[in-house]
Amino acid sequence: MTLLKDSTVLVTGANGGIGAALVQAALDRGARRVYAAARTEKQWDDERVVPLHLDLTDAVSIEQAAATASDTTVLINNAAIFPHGDLLTAPWEQVTEVIEINLTAPIRLTRALAPALRSAKGALVNVNSVLSWFAVGKAHSVSKAGLWMATNAFRLELAPDGVQVLGVYPGPTDTPMQAGKDPAGMNKPADVATAIYDALEAGEHELLVDDMTRKVHSALSAPVTALYPALAQ
Ligand SMILES: NC(=O)c1ccc[n+]([C@@H]2O[C@H](COP(=O)([O-])OP(=O)(O)OC[C@H]3O[C@@H](n4cnc5c(N)ncnc54)[C@H](OP(=O)(O)O)[C@@H]3O)[C@@H](O)[C@H]2O)c1
């Protein structure tokens, strides 16, 4: 279990819907410091928040952010993009960018901060998705499936040093990533942030945030047509 009180949290994508909620909820639970990592830093009205420049497409930016935030005890890989386009027909640059930002960069940042997490016996939180287990997101789903397995691998590698690794799997959530969609029935970012910190403080390995995610996850043990009925025709 990892308590937020007196922790030093680094949240990537801190200006986004779930990211901003994670910053606020960490403050509410007594974090000592919160690094709010973003491409465009903004001012926060709490002196415990330290704006941190981070562009996940830039390896130097990742290394610099990790060096600046070397006292991090809880790393939350939250930033991601969700471009629309099929794996076969989307521009190749779009396919590689989504894999870079959603998969390669979180792995790189975790490697850079692993010594800090180990020395603090802290925690790693990867915000994955129901789309880690469901291919409607195309290249996005590929990146999130990869991050699911990276989360599992990091858990095995970090457990001997007492680092908790929490994989988070939300379904649709009312954030800018879902702009233009009807928010009815979606998760609220503040509720997702609360569930994440509750799971962290309870010592969990995984958090399946909602019924949609639990349903998709349970269908993985069935024949593949359970998730993709069109294939049965
Ligand atoms: N919303 C959903 O329905 C949903 C469902 C399942 C999982 N999730 C996951 O939840 C997490 C948070 O997403 P969200 O819904 O809160 O989306 P969001 O509001 O769009 O936030 C995503 C954040 O990622 C940042 N980002 C994008 N590219 C970046 C880069 N190159 N370098 C640094 N930061 C970058 C964005 O920064 P800018 O502000 O600079 O663009 C933005 O702040 C993501 O991992 C997402 O996959 C979301």
Atom of ligand 1 nearest to the CA of 81: 27
What tens digit of pLDDT does each residue of 25-43 get? 999 999 999 999 999 999 9
**What atom in ligand 1 is closest to the CA of residue 144?**
47
Our mutation pick for probing the ligand 1 site, out of 39, 55, 98, 209, counting the most ligand atoms within 8 A of Cβ, is 39
> To which H or E segment does residue 74 belong?
strand 74-77
Report, at the CATH architecture level, how domain 8-232 is classified.
Answer: 3-Layer(aba) Sandwich (3.40)
Candidate of 147, 173, 182, 186 to mutate for ligand 1, largest count of ligand atoms within 8 Å of Cβ: 173
Q: Which ligand 1 atom lies nearest to the CA of residue 21?
A: 16
216 vs 6: CA distance, rounded Å = 36
pLDDT at 233 over 90: no
Q: Which tens digit of pLDDT belongs to each residue from 165-209?
A: 999 999 999 999 999 999 999 999 999 999 999 999 999 999 999
Q: Which atom, in ligand 1's list, is nearest to the CA of 82?
A: 47
3-state secondary structure 143-160: HHHHHHHHHHHHHHHHHH
Q: How far is CA 109 from CA 11, 105, 185, in A?
A: 11, 6, 33
Pocket lining: 39 vs ligand 1, CB cutoff 6 Å: yes
Residues 151-166 have pLDDT tens digits of 999 999 999 999 999 9
Asked if residue 7 has its Cβ within 6 Å of ligand 1, the reply is no
CA dist 121 and 161 (Å) reads: 7
Average pLDDT over residues 46-73: 98
In this prediction, residue 49 carries a pLDDT of 98
